Amino acid sequence: MSRFVIEGGYHLEGTFQPRGAKNEALQVLCATLLTDEDVIIHNLPDILDVKNLIRILELLGVEVEPLSNKGSYRFNARNVTVEKFQSLLCEKKISLLRGSILIAGPLLARFGLAIINKPGGDKIGRRRLDTHIHGFIKLGANVEVDNYKNVITFRSDRLRGTYILLEEASVTGTANLIMASVLAEGTTTIYNAACEPYIQQLCKMLVNMGAKIHGIGSNLLTIHGVSSLHGTDHTLLPDMIEVGSFIGLAAMTQSNLILKNVCLPQLGQIPDVFKKLGIKILMQGDDIVVPYQDVYEIQTPYDGSILTISDAPWPGFTPDLLSVVLVVASQARGSVMVHQKMFESRLFFVDNLIEMGAKIILCDPHRATVIGLERKYPLRGIEMSSPDIRAGISMLIAALSARGKSIIHNVHQIDRGYERIELVLQQLGAKIKREEEY
């Protein structure tokens, strides 16, 4: 286990290029199971969640070959067999990663059987698998849930196309059902589908593999099943959550940062939401410049009320950046209500921010009111522990802006989503080091 030791209060300067998108990586890696031909994936981030999923694929029999270009890999699933599904080591790995549920759709579609442990991941509240399970049942699968052994088994002689109306626009649920449907017999319609850029990327990759998918980018997908898919070459988008994290970092540390090649059209509301907090964001081609600001002021709505920032399915604001918004607001001029609708435990890390000196009222598990300090009272360094990826990066941003020394434990949570973050920050001028804990 590792920890970060941070000496805060330094302004940062320089250029940063975001890595490949974590959430897209987990989906397209699982899609390699749908064919026995080579699939080449570029721009894969070197992060813990991706490494764990690649290990799961290898345990299933997938050939994995790193290519000469950093972040490029060749995958071939021709040697995957049903007999490998119940590998004990594989089950242990699967239990560590929520994204591993995404192997179920491809395995069920191609082999008629998928056996997985209930997946783990962030401890941010209940994250039901009902969307996946109900969708597979509608496609004709039999599902057995063994709560004692913590195992879910999916079986089907042949999946058949059907109409699916999702109860919630789940990103992983939508991805899983898309991957199951592309090899199903007949036509599948998925309504209330998630339509995030990463879902669009998955669909485009599958189309390049021979799938027939219509409605990409909308919440109504029509999928005509095909008998087989072939190989392809796919490049991941830059991670929009990492882009948003570094916008927040620049604002909190009064830095001057350039974010290169961010794929602006795919960022949705992210730049606009940070602008509502008063942060200056300049667009230069496909780059974002966040210049030094002494103080940023939260916008007041036209009716004079307190600004509320909340999450919503795409094209709404992503829930993965609400933690960063909350931290950034702590040093703004003005007040804001942060409303986290999806997960009831994601705001509990604010206790650490309050201990650092932030003025935050946790109204309930889903809402927090932040009263900005206008930089009159800098945050102070403390010792804390990261409960999940997004809280972890938010606590790191707070520590980098704080006066004095901070220690963050359990940083493997941050490693799950951010590639070698301490080295990136050191290059920008941050005083941070990683220490091993025993």
Residues marked active site are found at 122
Residue bearing tokens 């598990």:
365
Q: How far is CA 364 from the centre of its chain?
A: 24
Nearest to 324 by CA among 259, 220, 401, 230: 401
DSSP letter for each residue of 334-374: SEEEEE--S-TTTTTTHHHHHHTT-EEEEEETTEEEEE--T
299-308 long-range contacts, CB within 8 A, separation 24+:
299/275, 299/334, 300/334, 306/335, 306/336, 306/337, 306/369, 307/276, 307/334, 307/335, 307/336, 307/337, 308/336, 308/337, 308/338, 308/339
Return the sign of the alpha-carbon dihedral for residues 52, 54, 58, 59. Answer: positive
Question: How far, in Å, CA of 171 to CA of 195, rounded?
Answer: 8
The single-letter code of the amino acid at 90 is: C
Residues near 191 by beta carbon (within 8 Å), at least 6 away in sequence: 163, 164, 165, 166, 219, 220
Residues near 149 by beta carbon (within 8 Å), at least 6 away in sequence: none
Question: How far, in Å, CA of 310 to CA of 312, rounded?
Answer: 7
Length of the chain: 438
Q: Is residue 180 within 8 Å of 164, Cβ to Cβ?
A: no
Pairing of strands 187-191, 163-165: parallel
Burial grade of 146 (CB within 10 A; 0-12, 13-18, 19 or more):
exposed
Instruction: Tally Cβ neighbours within 10 Å of residue 383.
Output: 13
SS3 (DSSP) at 191: strand
Residue bearing tokens 């604002």:
251
Instruction: Tally Cβ neighbours within 10 Å of residue 133.
Output: 19
